[in-house]
């Protein structure tokens, strides 16, 4: 894959410094150097110690990613929300894990995307998961189609300019929920469980913002934005304020209202395209099982 830039400053600058500013890491530079990539300035091959002058045209050729045999392909259709040369956004159904585990090497979204890449004959075959979701959470999931895109999207995640929003159905003390509020409680691993988390003053800081959308005597639909990314954060926080998610047996959610998985859906995703600079925004309606319950509100 080829990328081009023009250096437009008056002062000279090391090519290595310029490439770093474009988001090319040391690891990616090593890959370019040792795996068949090229770096050109004004159509002439150069090394990273070359000094750029104003109006120099820089071209970087990044070698294709052949893919890993350890990631098996599952030929199961995926619902594509958006795709271009750099990004793939899909609608993940509930009950499907994001990535394989040691004893569950297949059946995940990564396996399905791998099969899609193979069928399409893409030159880059490595599956780069940018935003993963819990197995029973539905909604928007973002993949990068090559390592350079993944690195640049990770920078957006670190800068918190990549925004994910969720919708959840909760029960319990919903009368106490304000129209707009924040849950600011640290989270750590619960020592009584391999997977469970809990709120505790000694944990990592965690902030969840929510807006009340609809409510009746038993159930509330809330819109949620995470300001930190702790494991199970939404589930733990709403359980801590005694409004656990429907279907979330692990954290005390009701299992008698027609849904048996945590009622959580990634409904919106917005970020700046890592190469075009365009602001992108995507949204999805609730998954069918959540929609049936929400309609009763």
Domain spanning 164-266, CATH class? alpha beta
Indicate the pLDDT class of residue 293, thresholds 50, 70 and 90.
very high
Determine the Cα–Cα distance for residues 151 and 137; give it in Å rounded to an integer.
25
- How much is the mean pLDDT over the chain? 96
Top pLDDT among 76 and 68 is at: 76
Pairing of strands 138-144, 264-272: parallel
> What's the pTM value of the predicted model, to 2 decimals?
0.93
pLDDT of residue 103: 86
Query: In the chain, what is the straight-line distance between the N-terminal and C-terminal CA atoms, in Å?
Result: 50
Residue 297 has pLDDT above 90, yes or no: no
Domain-wise residue ranges, the chain: 2-61, 64-159, 164-266
Residue 67 has pLDDT above 90, yes or no: no
- The CATH code of domain 64-159 reads 3.30.2350.10
Choose, from 8, 64, 69, 134, the residue flagged as catalytic: 134
Active-site annotation holds for 134: yes
Same fold, 64-159 and 164-266: yes
Cα→Cα distances 242→25, 59, 64, 183, 237, Å: 45, 56, 50, 12, 9
Tokens matching residue 30: 């090593």
Determine the Cα–Cα distance for residues 142 and 152; give it in Å rounded to an integer.
13
Q: Tell me: the pLDDT tens digits for 182-191?
A: 999 999 999 9
Indicate the pLDDT class of residue 140, thresholds 50, 70 and 90.
very high
pLDDT of residue 51: 97
pLDDT of residue 272: 96
Determine the Cα–Cα distance for residues 145 and 101; give it in Å rounded to an integer.
21
pLDDT of residue 44: 96
3-class SS at 166? strand
Residue 74 has pLDDT above 90, yes or no: yes
Q: Are residues 119 and 75 in contact, defined by beta-carbon separation less than 8 angstroms?
A: yes
Element (H, E) at 240: helix 233-240
- In 35-172, which residue ranges form alpha helices assigned H by DSSP? 109-120, 147-159
**Alpha-carbon torsion (230, 234, 235, 236), positive or negative:** positive
Please, what is the angle between helix 26-34 and helix 147-159, to 10°?
180
Residue 296 has pLDDT above 90, yes or no: no
């Amino acid at each position: 894959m080829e990328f081009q830039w023009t250096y437009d400053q008056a002062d000279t600058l090391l090519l290595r410094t310029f490439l770093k500013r474009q988001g090319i890491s040391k690891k990616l530079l090593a890959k370019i150097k040792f795996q068949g990539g090229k770096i050109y300035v004004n159509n002439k091959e150069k090394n990273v110690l070359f000094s750029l002058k104003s109006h120099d045209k820089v071209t970087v050729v990044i070698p294709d990613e052949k893919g890993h045999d350890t990631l098996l392909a599952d030929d199961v259709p995926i619902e594509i929300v958006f795709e271009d040369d750099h990004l793939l956004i899909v609608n993940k159904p509930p009950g499907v894990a994001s990535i394989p585990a040691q004893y569950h090497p297949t059946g995940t979204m990564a396996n399905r995307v791998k099969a899609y890449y193979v069928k399409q004959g893409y030159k880059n075959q490595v599956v780069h998961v940018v935003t993963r979701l819990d197995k029973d959470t539905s909604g928007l999931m973002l993949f990068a189609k090559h390592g350079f895109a993944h690195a640049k999207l990770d920078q957006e995640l670190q800068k918190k300019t990549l925004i994910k929003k969720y919708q959840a159905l909760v029960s319990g003390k919903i009368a106490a929920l304000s129209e707009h509020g924040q849950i600011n409680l640290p989270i750590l691993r619960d020592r009584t469980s391999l997977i469970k988390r809990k709120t505790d003053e000694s944990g990592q800081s965690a902030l969840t913002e929510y807006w009340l959308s609809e409510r009746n005597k038993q159930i509330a639909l809330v819109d949620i934005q995470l300001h930190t990314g702790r494991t199970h954060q939404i589930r733990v926080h709403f359980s801590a304020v005694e409004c656990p998610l429907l279907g979330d047996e692990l954290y005390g959610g009701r299992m008698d209202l027609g849904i048996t998985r945590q009622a959580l859906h990634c409904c919106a995703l917005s970020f700046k395209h890592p190469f075009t600079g365009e602001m992108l925004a995507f949204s999805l309606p609730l998954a069918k099982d959540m929609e049936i319950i929400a309609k009763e509100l």
